[in-house]
Amino acid sequence: MPELRRAPYSYRDDPAVPAFDDSTALFVFDGVCVLCSGGAAFLMRHDRHARMNFTPARSPLGQALYAHYAVDWNETYLLIAEGRAYTASAGYLRLCAILGGAWHCLRLAAILPEDWRDAAYTIVARHRYRWFGRVAHCALLTPEQRARLL
């Protein structure tokens, strides 16, 4: 399930998907998962050029995007970049390209077969609540980070 095969920007024609600023990438994450919300906070801190925005999977926008791409929000995050949707390891490789700089080095993981990368991702995703826990609310954010939540 790397890049979800649909025409670029297909969500724009879906009346169920609220309009949003898609001039930057959008990371849709599980806001109650400690690993996921911590990962989103990590990305916010390291995305010094504000190349992406964020929204929880359970927000109206998140739910609409998951429905549009026919993906179960409980199985993976969504990355929307340049009108295309990515999940699992392909999404992380795309994130490294978006972040730029030294993050490009992590794209070397692409030499591993995608099936292997996605199998490792699936194991962690399946057990994330048991291994890392849940939170009632997203982490406290700075005003700059809060402005990037859609």
Cα Dmax for the chain: 40
Model confidence at 140: pLDDT above 60: no
Model confidence at 111: pLDDT above 80: yes
User: Hey, how many other C-beta atoms are within 10 angstroms of the C-beta on 66?
Assistant: 21
Render pLDDT for 26-78 as a digit per residue (tens, 0 to 9): 999 998 888 888 888 889 888 989 999 999 999 999 999 999 999 998 889 99
Residue 63 to residue 17: CA distance in whole angstroms: 9
Among positive and negative, which fits the CA dihedral 50, 1, 126, 67?
A: positive
Q: DSSP letters of 5-53?
A: -S-TTGGGG-TTSPP---SSEEEEE-TTBHHHHHHHHHHHHH-TT--EE
Model confidence at 137: pLDDT above 70: no
Q: What residue type is assigned to position 101 of the chain?
A: G
Residue 138's pLDDT is 57
Render pLDDT for 1-33 as a digit per residue (tens, 0 to 9): 456 778 999 999 999 999 999 999 999 999 888
Residue 110's pLDDT is 79
Span 86-99, mean pLDDT?
92
